[in-house]
Structure 1
Amino acid sequence: MLASVNKAIQKGSLTNRDGVLLDKPLTAALVTDDGKLLYPISDGIPVLLEGESITLEQI
């Protein structure tokens, strides 16, 4: 899953829910039970802000 997310980031085609284009690869993330959202982990800390989450339907 993380590899697919990072490919989309590398292509410049992935945004978070705030609409910000992501440009740095993720090293870790949490995925919701329903598999619809991904929350990045930054420096070992989960970023659980709604706007920072990524909708996985973009992948």
Structure 2
Amino acid sequence: MIASELLDILVCPETKQPLELLEGAKVDELNDRIRSGVVVNRSGAAVGEPVQGLLLREDGAFAYPIREGIPVMLVDEAIAMSR
């Protein structure tokens, strides 16, 4: 999905923490919540589209969505990972 070379240099634009690629069950679970309309991003807007993957911040607090193979590295688009 994302080249390992790119993943090695990407960091959180807010905190500069390293990011970990999440795929599979965690993404499927989040997509179920997105479809039910309960997921909002940092700006408070509802996340309307399922994601292909996530780039999870090292502290686990937020993740950046991957859509159409492109990481969306905008602080306001980050998704809180706690329920």
Specify if TM > 0.5: yes
Aligned length: 58
| RMSD between superposed Cα atoms in Å | 1.1
Aligned structure 1 segments of 4 or more residues deviating by more than 4 angstroms: none
Deviation at 1:36?
1.1
Q: Percent identity?
A: 34
**Partner SS for 1:29:** strand
**TM-score, length-normalised on structure 1?**
0.85
**Structure 1 unaligned blocks of 5 or more:** none
**Partner SS for 1:57:** coil
Which has the higher relative contact order, 1 or 2, with Cα contacts under 8 A spaced 6 or more apart?
Answer: 1
**TM-score, length-normalised on structure 2?**
0.64
Larger Rg: 2
| Aligned residue among 41, 45, 49 for 1:24 | 49
What per-residue deviation string (whole Å, max 9, x for no partner) do you get for residues 14-50 of structure 1? 0000111012111121111111111011222211111
